[in-house]
Structure 1
Amino acid sequence: MKTLLKPIALFSAFAMILLLSAMNLKPKKIIFFGDSITQAGVKPGGYVDLIKKALDSSKYEVIGAGIGGNKVYDLYLRMEDDVLNKKPDVVVIYIGVNDVWHKQSSRTGTDYDKFIRFYEALIKKIRANGAKVVLCTPAVIGEKKNNANEMDADLDKYSGAIRDIAAKNNLPLCDLRTIFKTYNAENNIEDKEKGILTSDGVHLNAKGNQTLADNLLPLVQ
């Protein structure tokens, strides 16, 4: 009987090793959840594409889930299909530009209090699904310096809310608002409205995509 138990024990141990190895081989799934900036980010040279290329494809699966025009409540409404059902390990939330911008451009933006409630609800559901959450502040709507862009005050206010949410929930934060403002202060010599880190004052050019990728990469690994 003892001679029979020994091979069974060895087989069980071997099976456990194989199981653990298989679990370790499963790539870490990262979803970038946002608006048109993220939608464009999956294209060659976009920030999602740059991060994907910087990571080992055998260890990471990178998915872009951006839709143009989206605001925070759009993310909440499509979260089940585009995020939760995919069982990600990490979700990067990059939203807020349209919530501010569309208040002025089409009267369909998101009031500050509603923005916070939807944002916190997003985080709660994603974390309950077992994923790590990384937050990003909205970068710019116009690249002029010294708060000369029309919507700078609102962007600062909404970015401040995201910083507070990150601190309250002990979440990693990519503070793009501060990063982009600092870069423009130092490099936008002619005080241009666009063309420094963006192509049109909002959407990222090559330098903007690289800047975002460089700052996000350490937070998603």
Structure 2
Amino acid sequence: MNKLRAGQPVTIVAVGTSSTEGVGASSPKTAFPAVLQDLLKQAFPSSSVTVINKGQGGQVNQQLVVRLEQEVLALKPDLVIWQTGTNDAVNRTDLPAFKRSVTFALTTLRERGIEVILMDGQFFPEAAQSERYRRYQEALAEIADATGVPLVPRYTIMKHLVNELRLPFTRLLADDHFHPSDFTYACMASYVKGLLQAMP
């Protein structure tokens, strides 16, 4: 990301649901947006980096879209991290409607000259048995590919850690076995930092 490398001020807005808000984190400082801000300040010490947490638990993507104008665009961000895909799957949102809603959000942000990173849903015990949940995550990967937006594939990464590397859910998830743990929040932030470092 040019502004970070040039040492210019950068504003990032993290939009999403409870795993952006930080539910399951041991403190606000270990939530994903806060950890990301710390990592970026370390990686780009000459740039003033502000990561604004606009996570709100329980929302489906269309509710995130409703907040887009006043809670995101009004902040004039350089980058938006759009996290979605869990609540729509759990609440059985019509899949084509979900895809249209996500595409609208990403397209609107890109048209305003804002860089975007898309983040899909987490992997948790019930998701392991749900074909419906998997279809929503696959839809997000398809949207990211079609729009040219980088994707943070939480679902795939966490599934690999559980199924292939045998990492227990107790390591990846909070006590509720649904929301991310501090470990996973830190991994999310590290992945986004890597994406930003790789951006032209």
Q: Match for 2:82: what amino acid?
A: I
Structure 2 equivalent of residue 120 of structure 1: 103
| Equivalent-residue separation in structure 1 for 2:67 and 2:191 (angstroms) | 26
Q: Please tell me whether the aligned partners of residues 97 and 141 of structure 1 are also in contact (alpha carbons under 8 angstroms).
A: no
| Equivalent-residue separation in structure 1 for 2:31 and 2:165 (angstroms) | 21
| SS in structure 1 at match of 2:54 | strand
Structure 1 equivalent of residue 59 of structure 2: 70
Number of positions where the alignment pairs a residue of Structure 1 with one of Structure 2 = 184
Matched, 1:171 2:137: no
Runs of 4 or more, structure 1, over 6 Å off, are none
Q: Please tell me whether the aligned partners of residues 184 and 196 of structure 1 are also in contact (alpha carbons under 8 angstroms).
A: no
RMSD between aligned residues? 2.1
Q: Which runs of 5+ in 1 are unaligned?
A: 1-23, 104-109
Q: Match for 1:166: what amino acid?
A: A
Structure 2 equivalent of residue 210 of structure 1: 186
TM-score, normalised with respect to structure 2: 0.84
| Equivalent-residue separation in structure 1 for 2:78 and 2:8 (angstroms) | 11
Structure 2 equivalent of residue 162 of structure 1: 140
Deviates more, 1:60-69 or 1:135-144: 135-144
| SS in structure 2 at match of 1:68 | coil
Q: Match for 1:207: what amino acid?
A: F
TM-score, normalised with respect to structure 1: 0.76
Structure 2 equivalent of residue 51 of structure 1: 36
Structure 1 equivalent of residue 86 of structure 2: 97
Structure 2 equivalent of residue 10 of structure 1: none
Deviates more, 1:67-76 or 1:178-187: 178-187
Same amino acid, percent of matched pairs: 27
Larger radius of gyration: 1
| SS in structure 1 at match of 2:67 | helix
